[in-house]
Amino acid sequence: MSSAESSLPGSSAGLSLVSSRDPLQSHTRYIRVRSAPNSRYVEFDFAIDDPSLFVELILPLQAFEIFCQANSVVAMTKQQAAGIDAEMDKWRYGHDTLVGRSHSSANQQ
């Protein structure tokens, strides 16, 4: 069997879900739950290393618990969440941005 074949799924070597050479193992993995308690699905943000750069995910509760355990997640702090929300508001509403200041100046003239 060639070395390429031995790394294929179903081969005698098999594959593990997380390689010991996983370059992301040393990075903190963050979650922020967005859904209400007792919801059918858990809506949450997931980030690796930088809490402000996240993806939005939805999983059933049991799958969410497995996901959190498999990724050794850390909950975002209130300060991290507040900072992210403030940045999102700047983009959403134009406050404290170059475009927002330009728009405000144009309206005052």
List of residues 6+ apart from 26 with CB closer than 8 A? none
Question: Rounded distance, CA 96 to CA 2, Å?
Answer: 59
Which residues span the domain enclosing 62? 26-96
Assigned domain for 53 exists: yes
List the one residue out of 47, 53, 38 whose CA is nearest residue 71. 47
Token output for 46: 């997931």
User: For residue 90, what pLDDT is reported?
Assistant: 79
In this prediction, residue 101 has a pLDDT band, given cuts at 50, 70 and 90, of: low
Assigned domain for 32 exists: yes
- Number of domains within the chain: 1
* Whole-prediction pTM: 0.65
Token output for 37: 């308690």
Assigned domain for 42 exists: yes
pLDDT tens-digit map of 40-97: 999 999 999 999 999 999 999 999 999 999 999 999 999 999 999 988 887 777 666 5
First-last CA distance in the chain: 77
